Every structure is written in C-alpha cells, then in structure tokens.
Structure 1
Amino acid sequence: MNTFPIIETERLILREVTNEDALAMFDYLSDQDVVKHMGLEPYKTPTEVLEEINWYQLIREEGTGIRWGITLKNMDTVIGSCGFLNMHPKHYRAEVGFELSKLYWGKGIAKEALKAVLDYGYKHFELERIEALIEPLNRPSQRLVEKQGFIREGLLRHYEFTCGKFDDLYMYSILKESFFKS
C-alpha cells in the first residue's frame, strides 16, 4: 500500500491515525456530546478506540475510504478526524464524515479540515459527488456542510439502526463543479 497522504492547511496537519493515538481519541470519543449524532455510544475505554482505528485501516486497505486524524500544527495530538467512507470509484462518489473534540468546537477547525479533505477527494480520487448524511438534530454539522456549498437533497427515513433506534438522516451533497466555484 502506498504512503498515507498527509494534508497540511494553515493551522492543521491531517495525518494517519495510529494505535498510539487511542488515548487522545478516547478523550473525545468518550464524550456523549461528541458522539451523540454519530450513531455511537460513548467509548468506555481507550482499548475500544483501537477498534475505530482498525476500521480506519480496513477501509483504506479495501479502497472504500480513508480517514485522517486532525492535529494542530503546534501539537501532534489527534483532536478529531475527517475522511471518506462508502467510496464508489466506479461512480466517482463518496461519503464524508467528521468529528471534533468539544474543546475545539467553534474555532473553524472542522471547516478547515473538511475543506482540505474535500479538495483532496476531488483532486486525488477524482470524485464528482461527495455526500454527507446528517441527523436532523445535528444543526452544527448541517451548517458546516452548507457553508461549504452542500445542498440538502432530502430526508432518508429510518436509514440507520444505531444505539437501539432507527435514525432519520438528511442527505447532503456537493458536486465538484460547485466546490471549485465557491
């Protein structure tokens, strides 16, 4: 497998997540406020986070996704992640996902990371369409993708079964042409 791509922005380094990042990731993945719209229960131990890291590695190996750890340039601690899943190269589309430690909410970090990942997806994976599936109550994520130019296409009723319940999800998308116009 080729080298994991590193993305650098003004304030961030997006890099591969390793098992050594489990403790830092546990800090935010154990926070109910962070995971409540991700279809996950808060993680109870750092060891559980290793399953998440293994999933990141698996989707990359399978070619169905890639997930970057978000770090600030002045510290190498993972404070969130952003990347693609459900990639369909044949159809030139993928789904984007992201989460960020509550300590860093409202500072434009998620926006900066998302923009860099979208740019990478269009240029390196030659994607035409990038989707985001977001719970109706997750207004901050809806605002984030809308500011990047995503369009809400509709509501997918009872689309996922997570945490013992069926979740409705809004389908958002942005096309390559729209991203590079903004």
Structure 2
Amino acid sequence: MSEFPIIETERLILRQVTNKDAGYLLKYMSNKDVTKHMGLEPFNSMDDALNEISWYQSIWEKQTGIRWGITLKGEDEVIGSCGFLNLVSKHSRAEIGIELSKNYWDKGIASEAFEAVIRYGFEQMHLQRIEALIEPSNAPSQRLAEKQGFIREGLLRSYEFTVGKFDDLYMYSILKSDLNHIQNPPYERS
C-alpha cells in the first residue's frame, strides 16, 4: 500500500487521522449540530472517536475510500474530515463526505477542503464521477456541493436507515468533465 497522501491548500493541511487525534474528533463530533445530517448520534466517549478513526483506517486499507483530517496550517488539531467512501474502481466513482467543527463554520474552510479533495479524486485517483448524498434538510451541504459544480440528479426515497429512521437523500454528482470551473488547484505533497 502506498503512503497516505497529504493535501495542502492555501490555509489547510489535509492529513491522515490517527488514534492520537481521537480527542479532537470527540470534541467536535459530540456536537449534535455537526452530526445532525451524518446518520450518527453525537459522540459520547473516546471509544466513539476511536471507532470512527478505525473506520477511516479500514476504508484506506481495503481501498474502498480515503478520509483526510482537516487541519489549519501551523496547527495540528483535526477540526473536521473530508474524503471518499464507497469507491468503485471498476466504474471510477466514489461518494464524497465532509464534516467540520461548528467553531469553523462560515469561514470558507469546508469549501477549501471540499474543492481540494474533489480535485484530488479526479486528478490523482482518476475518478470519472463523484457523488454526494445529502439530506433534503441539509441546505448548507447542498449549497457547498452546488458551489463546486455538483448537479442534483434526484431524490432517493427512504435510502438509508440511520439513527432509528429512514432518510431520504438527494443524489448529487459532478463529473471529471465538469471540473473546468475550479481554479487554483491545491497541490499534493508526501
């Protein structure tokens, strides 16, 4: 397996999340506003955070996805994560997801990380299609996706059963050929 890639943007370093970051995840994932649209209950313990990190490691090892921790340059604290899951290499597609500590909402950080991960997916992973599944009530994530050029394709009714209920999800997608609008690509370093 190759070395975990690091993505650098103007303000951010996106890096691998390790067990030493569990306290950071617990800090922001214990906020119900952060987990509200994720199909997760707010975290209550270090075990919740360590289980999430274990899932990040598992998808990386199985090559079914990759999840980066979002950090501000010059600071090591993980303030969110962004990455791909349900990677289907045969069809060159994956789903993208992101969450961010509420302390950093409305500062352009989610957009900066999201754009960098999209570009990485198309340029380094050679994806053809990136999908985002977003709850209809999650207007900020819909705006984030649309700002990056995602197109809403339709509503998937009762698509997921999470936190004791069935959720409808909008299917959004962006194709590699749609990428022309994104400017100033971030660069990768090892």
Question: What secondary structure sits across from 2:61 in the alignment?
Answer: helix
Q: Which residue of 2 aligns with 1:138?
A: 138
AA aligned to 1:122 is F
The two structures, once aligned, show a CA RMSD in angstroms of: 0.7
Q: Which residue of 2 aligns with 1:39?
A: 39
User: Does 2:108 align with 1:115?
Assistant: no
Which structure has more relative contact order (CA 8 Å, sep 6+)? It is: 2
AA aligned to 1:52 is E
Residue 45 of structure 1: CA displacement? 0.7
Q: Which residue of 1 aligns with 2:187?
A: none
Q: Which residue of 1 aligns with 2:150?
A: 150
Structure 1 residue runs of 4 or more that deviate by more than 3 Å after TM superposition: none
- Please show how residues 15-164 of structure 1 align to structure 2 within 5 Å: 15-164=15-164
User: Deviation digits for residues 100-121 of structure 1, max 9, x if unmatched?
Assistant: 0000000000000000001100
Find the aligned partners of 1:121 and 1:148 in 2 and give their Cα distance.
13
Find the aligned partners of 1:29 and 1:103 in 2 and give their Cα distance.
12
TM (norm. structure 1) is: 0.99
Question: What secondary structure sits across from 1:52 in the alignment?
Answer: helix
Residue 179 of structure 1: CA displacement? 1.4
Q: Which residue of 2 aligns with 1:4?
A: 4
Residue 2 of structure 1: CA displacement? 1.3
User: Deviation digits for residues 61-81 of structure 1, max 9, x if unmatched?
Assistant: 111000000000021100000
Q: For this pair of structures, how many residues does the alignment match?
A: 182
Residue 46 of structure 1: CA displacement? 1.7
Q: Which residue of 2 aligns with 1:14?
A: 14
Residue 47 of structure 1: CA displacement? 2.0
Residue 181 of structure 1: CA displacement? 3.7
Residue 41 of structure 1: CA displacement? 0.3
**Structure 2, gaps ≥5 residues long:** 183-190
Find the aligned partners of 1:181 and 1:100 in 2 and give their Cα distance.
24
TM (norm. structure 2) is: 0.94
AA aligned to 1:88 is V
